[in-house]
């Protein structure tokens, strides 16, 4: 896709900064997208970010995100910092006319998310594109699942089970990190993992959450840190029940204490005509059940999602050559760049992120009240409901759209 190259700056160079950097390296090679130049990688430690910049392929490094954003050769700002900095950086970038991608969750609080969503809508009027980085929407198997649900292949959706299990905190001596401090992370497993699960509920069903009830636990209340033991101020695990506006019920769990589970996002959907099952630890497979099969042949069948007709596979390898977790970021950047070129609303939008943030806040409120139900009826003014911000994520995935 011809045109002037877009200058990119990524702010944050650790786990997510590395994942996004690899995506920026690969997106033009895999897909026909506007050309990009990896100009600046930003971090707080000058020596460390300089090392990362050389390793990941960036032209420069910096410790000043404001000065980087103000550069005329920076068109895109990709924010991969802890959640406490998302709002400040995104609002600054949008105010200066930069396209903005923010790693999930959108913010640490509903007021921050509201401010970001409002700024994104205002910036969109001048052609500035913003998007939230829920990369699991870009797993080909889950994009395929969404299209199958939208086509009615499962019939009326009645039940969903979403469980996101990790075990990196199951050892009581696992060290303290920013993810365990509320002032930095906002919440624990709830925001880190539960945000993905809540977003998948909305993404897969196309409907909103109407009420929640939940409980949460912090199993290990103190962790070793560089200056001795420190209090853990976020949840280790949460369990919730979500009522959906179409009458379906979703069970959502998230924990970083599930011994033996490394990165297990497990999704089950049950409808009147069929069912779907997915496990992130086997991300190239989608299991599908259809009641239309003869009684003696019914059972879940496994689809290996590597065909050219499947979402995003046109940019990759021959049939059967599986993809990995890191490729979802390349897909994410592909959609973001095409939204910039086409002038369309990128998906998920900041409004989608606001809706997820509202659900997370309701889960936290319910857990604090001993599991009491919390209604989602109060809609923030001006918010785009699910649908408008989903068009890029749905219609561009399969030939002929949905």
For the chain, domain boundaries:
6-135, 138-395
Count of Cβ atoms closer than 10 Å to residue 204 Cβ: 25
Q: What is the DSSP letter of 258?
A: -
Distance of CA 298 to the CA centre of its chain: 34
Q: How far apart are CA 279 and CA 142, in angstroms?
A: 10
By C-alpha distance, which of 138, 122, 58, 137 is closest to 90? 122
Peptide bond into 105 cis (omega under 30): yes
Distance of CA 390 to the CA centre of its chain: 13
CA distance 31 to 59: 22
Q: 6-135 belongs to which homologous superfamily?
A: NAD(P)-binding Rossmann-like Domain (3.40.50.720)
Buried b (16+ CB within 10 A) or exposed e, 262-286: eebbbbbbbbeebbbbbbbeebbbb
- Residue 221 DSSP code: -
CATH 3.30.360.10 fits 138-395, yes or no: yes
Let me know if the fold of 6-135 is the same as that of 138-395: no
Which residue intervals of 227-349 are DSSP H helices? 327-342
- Residue 250's alpha-carbon distances to 39, 207, 291, 370, in angstroms, are 43, 12, 22, 19
> Are the C-beta atoms of 28 and 37 separated by less than 8 Å?
no
> Sign of torsion, CA 213 168 234 347?
negative
Q: How far is the C-alpha of 116 from the C-alpha of 90, rounded, in Å?
A: 7
Residue 218 to residue 312: CA distance in whole angstroms: 39
For each of the chain's 402 residues, which pLDDT tens digit applies? 556 899 999 999 999 999 999 999 999 999 999 999 999 999 999 999 999 999 999 999 999 999 999 999 999 999 999 999 999 999 999 999 999 999 999 999 999 999 999 999 999 999 999 999 999 999 999 999 999 999 999 999 999 999 999 999 999 999 999 999 999 999 999 999 999 999 999 999 999 999 999 999 999 999 999 889 999 999 999 999 999 999 999 999 999 999 999 999 999 999 999 999 999 999 999 999 999 988 888 999 999 999 999 999 999 999 999 999 999 999 999 999 999 999 888 999 999 999 999 999 999 999 999 999 999 985 544 444 444 334 333 333 332 222
């Amino acid at each position: 896709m011809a045109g002037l190259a877009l200058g990119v700056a990524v702010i944050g160079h650790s786990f997510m900064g590395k994942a996004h950097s690899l995506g920026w390296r690969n997106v033009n090679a895999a897909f026909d997208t506007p050309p990009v130049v990896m100009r600046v990688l930003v971090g707080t430690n000058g020596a460390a970010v300089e090392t990362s910049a050389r390793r990941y392929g960036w032209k420069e490094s910096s410790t000043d995100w404001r000065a980087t954003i103000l550069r005329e050769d920076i068109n895109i700002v990709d924010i991969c910092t802890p959640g406490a900095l998302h709002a400040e950086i995104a609002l600054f970038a949008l105010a200066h006319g930069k396209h903005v991608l923010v790693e999930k969750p959108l913010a640490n609080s509903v007021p921050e998310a509201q401010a970001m969503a409002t700024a994104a809508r205002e910036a969109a009027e001048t052609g500035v594109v913003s998007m939230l980085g829920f990369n699991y929407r870009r797993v080909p198997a889950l994009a395929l699942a969404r299209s199958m649900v939208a086509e009615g292949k499962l019939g009326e959706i009645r039940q969903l089970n979403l469980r996101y299990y990790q075990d990196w905190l199951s050892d009581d001596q696992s060290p303290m990190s920013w993810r365990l401090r509320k002032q930095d992370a906002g919440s624990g497993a709830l925001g880190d993992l539960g945000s993905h699960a809540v977003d998948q509920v909305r993404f897969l069903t196309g409907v909103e959450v109407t009420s929640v009830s939940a409980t949460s636990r912090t199993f290990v209340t103190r962790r070793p840190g560089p200056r001795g033991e420190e209090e853990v101020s976020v949840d280790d695990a949460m369990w919730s029940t979500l009522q959906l506006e179409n009458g379906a019920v979703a069970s959502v769990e998230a924990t970083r204490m599930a011994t033996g589970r490394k990165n297990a996002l497990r999704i089950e959907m049950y409808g009147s005509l069929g069912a779907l099952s997915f496990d992130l630890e086997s991300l190239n497979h989608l299991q599908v059940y259809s009641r239309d099969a003869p009684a003696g042949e019914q059972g879940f069948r496994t689809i290996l999602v590597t065909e050219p007709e499947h979402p995003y596979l046109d940019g990759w390898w021959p049939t059967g050559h599986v993809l990995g977790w890191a490729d979802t970021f390349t897909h994410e950047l592909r959609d973001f760049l095409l939204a910039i070129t086409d002038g369309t609303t990128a998906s998920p939008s900041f409004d989608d992120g606001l809706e997820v943030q509202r659900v997370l806040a309701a889960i936290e409120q319910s857990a604090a009240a001993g599991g009491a139900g919390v209604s989602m009826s109060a809609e923030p003014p001006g918010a785009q409901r699910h649908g408008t911000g989903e068009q890029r994520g749905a219609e561009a995935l399969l030939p002929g759209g949905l």
